[in-house]
Structure 1
Amino acid sequence: MHAKLQAIHKSIDQSLKNYYVDALTLAMTINDKGIPENFETVCQQILNSNPNIDAVQLVPDGIIQYTYPEKGNEAAKGIDILNNKKYRFEAMKAIETRKMYFAGPFELKQGGLGILGRVAIYKDNKFWGFSAIIIKLNTLIKKPEIEKMNTSKYHFLFSKINPVSKREDFFLNADEEFNPENTVSSIIPDGDWKLYLVDKNPNELLFTTVIRCVLALFLASLIGFLTYSFFKKPAELKILLRKQSDKLLKNEIKFKSIFDQAAVGITYVDSNTGKFSDVNKRFCQLIGYSSEELKSMDLKSITHPDDIEKSLLSLEKLYKDEIEEFSLEKRYISKSGKTIWVNITVSPLWKKGEKPTNHIVIIEDISKRKKADKIILASRKRIESLINTVDGIVWECDAKTLEFNFVSKKVEDILGYTSEEWINTPNFWVNHIFYKDKENALQYCVEQTNQLKNHDFEYRMVAKDGSVVWVRDIVNVITDNNEAKSLRGIIIDITKTKEIEKELNNSFNLVSEQNKRLLNFSYIVSHNLRSHTSNISSIVDLIETSESEEEKEEMIQLLKSVSDSLNETMLNLNEIVSIQTNVDIVTENLNLKQYLDNTLTLLADQIELKGINVVSSIDAAVEVNYNPAYLESILYNLISNAIRYSHQEKHPIITIDSYIENKKTVLQISDNGIGIDLNKNGHKIFGMYKKFSTHKDSKGIGLFITKNQIDAMGGSITVESEPNLGTTFKVYIS
């Protein structure tokens, strides 16, 4: 019974070692970044080479993510075995022992009892996850040693201590109770399983056996005593030799299985000659040569000429013990002359400090990936070429952080920055929005993005040379599961459009102002000339009906007065027309203080007569680019008005100053005179013949002319005033 059970044990143990090889082969698909490559291809080859396997899995971080075949195993995907009481204990056994551990048997999702073998995978001495093999229990125990067993005499049992309940569970037909004294057992440590072989008829030959046993015992004792001393040592050596042989055999089987069944090419290369000492089946298929042909060749003979130098350089570093291993992408020339792209990993097969003898090369075919990369690169270049022909900056950024991952090269033409400067600087876009537009632009963009709305808005950006560029930004919101993930758009330079728009607005405002002036002028002409002509007509009628010479003379004097008034009106209208139609106004750099002093000299008699105190703080260095006649007229009208409308009950003061505001020179003239009621007269203060006092010298023409002169020079004038407190005029000189 013991011999039969050991045969069963050995057969099952051999199957488990084969599964271990398959699990290691599956683990080799994981690249340096921890991502499986060619997963389905390798899995298919594993299942084809070992039909006893029902499914294979890769379990990164203890979570089932990769299963082959996927059909029928969907329910297992996503299970976190390290945080599941049902699976955790046996999964941890694989981590603790650092070898393959077989969990189960347990009910499979696809039905039936199954066993799951897991081997813990480590990358750079860090736990990556598991490589797992799924086998049905019936498949595992389908062994000739069990099937040919005499079931009338023996009963085979398969059990395991349940890691949760701590009770022994039997997984085969175990309805019959058995006496442990009538059984032999064996433990398989890779799964903590216990195998039983039960004697169904323990008392069948009891009497005969007893007699034979007594005789056998006597003879055995005698012979044993005699032979023990002669054969003790050789037997011990034989046992030890057998154990070592078994161990070597197991290792040889394991590595041979890996070598032959690997889904990647594996070769052993002589370190001195570079010749292949052994090659596996996959490498022969890849390169097209037979094993015998390759063993007569070396690495150089199949390496692409352009890649020989870098291969030899890496090998030299390996021989000098400067590096422990290396990986590189290179090209091989197959037997048919075809160029094959491969990724090779070269590791030494000698101990550190010893003279090198051999190294092992793992070869992975990456021709398809290289071809795909080439297509992707060509496609990317075409797309970038098309993008760079677009008359705008094409871009993409993260919807939450607004950090850009793509900016087209058109940015250099529009803003002067390179794509790299933009992409490599966090918050580049935010930091280069013109400060006056930043808050509104950011708020609008965030609001529209949160609402998952595509948007289109205008703002200004600061270019590399410091200039301000108007742009239009057309943005598409890219969503995933109803959440904004990224933004894509195009930034268009609209500076010229904005300048044209500004010019149009200026032209419109100018035309509107001219229309207003024209209407005002026509009203003045219509009203004032009609008044004069009406007076003349009435006086002529009176002259015709006059009865005495004295009366006629009186009417003639009155007619002369009206004529003089008409002449003065015509002169005023002529001056205004001259100002408004003067296109080419001559300007010069004028010293403002000098022109002020000239004006004060002209008005010195009036200033002295009224006892006015004039306070001027204008610096002698202030210069303005202005028309000389207009500057004289503006200073004269504003200062003479301040003198004319001084308050009789106050000591009159006129304050004159200049300063810079928004890059414009401001001339400020203030007085403490009678003031103006702006609530009542503010809308007509610069109108022609508009009077705001009963002063005898008031004609209502000075401020009108002053306003027209300032407008003609591209400036502006404002007034601040209160009755009995005074008036301040501010002239803005461009």
Structure 2
Amino acid sequence: MKSVVDPTVQILLQIGERVISVSPEHHVIEEWNRNSFKEKTDNILKDNDETFISSRYIVNHCSSSVSTAFTKGLSGYTEITFFDGIGLLEYGIRVLPYPTANIVFLVVERTKAVEGFQQIEDKWKLALDASGDGVWDIDIVAGTIIFSEKWQEMFGYSSSEITTIQDWADKIFPEDITAAEKSIKKYLASETPNYTVEVRYKCKNGSYKWILSRGIVIARQEDGTPTRFIGVHTDIHKRKLEEDELRVNKETFSNSFNYSGTGKALLSPGGQWLEVNDVLCRMTEYSKDELLNLHYRDITYPDDIDIDLALIGQLLNKEIPAYSIEKRYVTRSRKIVATLLTVTLVFDNADIPKYFICDVVDITSHKELSNQLLRKNMELETTSESLGNKIKQLENLNHIVAHNLRGPVSNIKFLSEESEVFKEGEALKWISECSDKLISELDFLLELSQIKLNTEITKDDCVIGEIVNGISLQLQGTIYEKNAKIFLDLAVPTIQYPRIYLESILYNLISNALKYSKKEGQPAITITTCMSKGKISLSVRDNGLGIDMVKHKDQVFKLNQVFHEGYDSKGVGLFITKTQIEALGGNILVKSKPDEGSEFIVTF
């Protein structure tokens, strides 16, 4: 009954000092007073209280009116004179039926002995005005309405400008008239316990003000027809504007959250997903319900789980308003998604952290393109340096060729021009000797070109373990997705070799081992180094698909050769690798069997 009765009691307590609810058996149910709203009957008044009239006494005094209210639904009014030990006190008691809850309200107002009914009416209006609400009083039979001074101040009208019910209704905002009429009709028909509605009312200056209109019927005819309807208008304009602004803000946030082109999420201070948008669901390959049942740690790449703990601490301490950081997440299919994560923290009115707002931008493609650009730049740098060296070597070689071949060519020319000065057979002998000399010089120049090839490229102390770790970071997404393992067995940990060459060679061999791994089982890549016949040998062995060497033995290192369909391969990697190795005087060979894996062995 509380949710039904309390709004009406609040109105009645603005009219009287005490309100008593009575059952059909004339028992006191509850009693309220203006100073302490809603107190239980057995705690409020005692029969021997000489300074306050008891509720039982009041009910007994009004017994006849209470019976009429229950049987005929009619309201009544009576007065009580009570001696408090010093003098006589008079009370006005209004009896109001409340059929919805099957109770009767007794509204008690203490008056002076000289005061009558009109004085009580005036005190009700004064009490309501003091509460800050504007009072209205409708004579339903006459169709007239009067307002308190406070009401007139609220809307700017004088007492003569609005005198009829129609005058009052005309000032209601057109879109709110239906709601007001519906609420009044339901109340007067006893379908609702009280009349309460929120409408916009037109002020004299032409503006509209939101009000909360509440009222009760305090008088009825013998047939139960309402004759008098009183109530209050409470100014709620500021509250409604704030609610509207809050609604707009919520809609704006909701639209930007749900229809954003980036991943959006609300995260509890404990790390649970509170809300996520569709973009984040697609990004992680989880449904919304699945994500809301997960902790953020469940989908975060293990190495990145705690990378922003210090920044979170700064948010909690209000040292920073937000932060951005690159963070990796793991999808349902174990793919790594690189993201740019921006986080801010919302506090409640008690300054307690409420939730984190997370903006998640997928930068996986950007990172992959950056890695590809880095590798292409390395290859370009290697090619450029090699080409520059070769140009210099060709210039030197031109000088050597011009110098060393000048003598033999001149002799041949002389023999062709002066052949008559030689004895028989002597010219042929000279030609043979000159040809031998020419062939010897050409062999020397060929050997010299091989010796000088790329000798000017700077060699570095290449630590194999460091290079492999760097390549693993570039390929970490594929390594994590395939759950691959890389093992190192380095008898020779450091190799003297141009670093950009060696990084390119190892990247191609390791990425191929990952790309052509078997779908079932765990990919394993073993990298070993050792000394063999005075030279350093580097081996990259895998347990992947392997190559049919009987079929492809002569094509493995040729350009545009593809041995496995459906792997987005262009057949360029091994060709480049072989070219780089041989450019520095090394060689590469392969051992492989289908479904058993491959081993590439590089000798430096």
| TM-score higher than 0.5 | no
Relative contact order, CA 8 A, sep 6+: which one is greater? 2
